[in-house]
Amino acid sequence: MAFLGELLVEAGLINGVQLAEALRAKAVFGGRIGTNLVELGFIDDATLHLFLSRQHGLPALPIDAQPDAAALQCLSPAACNELNVLPLRCDANDLLIAVLDPTDQQLLQKVADLTQRRVRPVVASEGRLFALMRDVLGIERTPRLAVIEAEALRAGQAGIGQTPLRSILRDQLFPLGAGVGVEQDDDLEVITLVEVVDDSESLATDTSAPPPPLPPFGSPFDFEIRTADIQFHLADAPAIDPDVQRIHAALGAALRPLSFEEVLVAIDTCTDRESLARNVLRYVLWYYRRALIFTVQRGLILGWDGLGDRVDRDLAAKLMIPVSVPSVFVTAFTSRQVYHGPLDNAPINQLFVKILGGHHPESCHVVPFVVGKRVVSMLYADGCIRELNPAQSSEFAMVAGQVRRAFERFIARVDGA
């Protein structure tokens, strides 16, 4: 079976440079290759589904598909969410389902076992499948995928006007229709904050000028650490109070905090972005009660994962913070420098803490991860267990360097494939 990207190149719809850029974006930001091609504006949703159908020799999920009520009774919403499938039609013997990968025989067999029916798949993109799962079952996905859902729904009967993108931070601070506008960005409609009003000032974002082009990936890093040249030892845990010990214990052995020496080895040997994020979060828990990691795309700081006190991972993945509005995240984003200091009373900062829960922290630590000239990810931590000394602050900078190097390794692996 040919790869999707190869089919699109052969058809003259994308070129090799565009395919390479989409593969690099996939390595850094995750998602399927079709998602990244649509997100970059190289193809549209209709083209994606046409070629997914050709690739697999199966029908594609129609843009106006509506599952039968009887089919939805065959599989619980929790199972649909876990397996990334959606029942469409059923009878006594067969079940038609929408899936991302119809070649995944283990997945199809699991659905068959759960429903006691023969399974017939149709293929769907992440955007189209998740948009339908959200509308039919109320299953929310990450804001990054909500952008792709908007593209998938644009040609549908509901349309973008009736299916607004949802963001926990944005919608609670600014109800739809109040201070929110639709900004055209790379041929995708993305709802962003265009005005903030408080007691003293307002901030307007100029949407008349096109956004500047994103710089390419691939610039060399300023330094690197080779773990083979370091003498390793297991560091003693910082002196922490019983409450923090309970937080760590609740995470289990697989998520226990990592020392500086351990995280360097873990980052140097990780092979995918999810394990990279998890290792960084585990390291941060040596020094902070909670930590979250974000990706940065299309002018949005998007929740990715989190660990620690009061951190709901599902909630963390639904956070969306625009770079057009002042916040501690924007400070680190625009400077491309580590921020370690007080968390001021900017509206988004206040709401961010309120959503996470707990008292307003006295200080926080925000680390931007830069690949080439682009901030592609950010780390946030608060609830300092004890103040970092200069050596420990330097450790954070070294870990950030290793993260950048890991992203570069992922990209190099794609380029060398």
CB 365 within 8 A of CB 381: yes
Distance between CA atoms of residues 128 and 63, nearest Å: 7
Residue 54 lies in a domain: yes
Rounded to an integer, what distance in angstroms lies between the CA atom of residue 118 and that of residue 129?
A: 21
Extract the tokens encoding 324: 């057009």
Instruction: Determine the Cα–Cα distance for residues 288 and 365; give it in Å rounded to an integer.
Output: 9
For residue 19, being part of any structural domain is answered with yes
Residue after which a domain boundary falls, among 70, 97, 129: 129
Kindly list the distances between the CA atom of residue 370 and the CA atoms of 280, 338, 364, 365, in Å, as whole numbers in the listed order: 15, 11, 19, 16
Confirm whether 334 is domain-assigned. Answer: yes
The tokens 């299953």 sit on which residue?
A: 139
Q: Which of residues 95, 129, 163 is at a domain's end?
A: 129
Domain assignment present for 279: yes
For the chain, the C-alpha Rg in angstroms (whole number) is: 22
pLDDT at residue 237, rounded to an integer: 52
Report CA 411 to chain centroid distance, whole Å.
17
Residue 412 contacts by C-beta under 8 Å, 6 or more apart in sequence? none
Distance (Å, whole) CA 359 – CA 352: 11
Per-10-residue mean pLDDT of the chain, 417 residues long, equals 89 91 89 88 88 92 89 94 93 93 94 94 90 86 58 43 36 33 30 25 33 37 39 50 68 78 91 93 90 88 87 83 87 91 87 83 91 90 83 85 91 75
Which of 102, 129, 156 is the endpoint of a domain?
129
Are residue 231 and residue 370 in the same domain, yes or no? Answer: yes
In a domain, 322, yes or no: yes
Q: Which helix (H) or strand (E) holds 379?
A: strand 374-384
Question: How far is the C-alpha of 4 from the C-alpha of 137, rounded, in Å?
Answer: 29
Q: Which residue has the tokens 């041929």?
A: 187
Using the 8-state DSSP alphabet, how is residue 52 labeled? H
Identify whether 112 is part of a domain: yes
8 Å CB contact between 79 and 97? no
* Residue 219 forms part of a structural domain: no
Same domain, 117 and 245: no
Cβ neighbours of residue 176 closer than 8 Å, sequence gap 6 or more: 164
- Please indicate, yes or no, whether residues 253 and 360 belong to a single structural domain of this protein: yes
Q: What span, in angstroms and rounded, lies between the C-alpha atoms of 345 and 292?
A: 19
- Domain-embedded: residue 207: no
Same domain, 99 and 248: no
Both 112 and 240 in one domain: the answer is no
Which residues are paired to 369 by β-bridges?
Answer: 377
pLDDT at site 146: 55
**Cβ count near 106 (within 10 Å):** 6
How many independent structural domains does the chain possess?
2
Range of the domain at 361: 227-416
Residues facing residue 192 across a β-bridge? 181
- Which CATH number fits the domain that encloses residue 71? 3.30.300.160
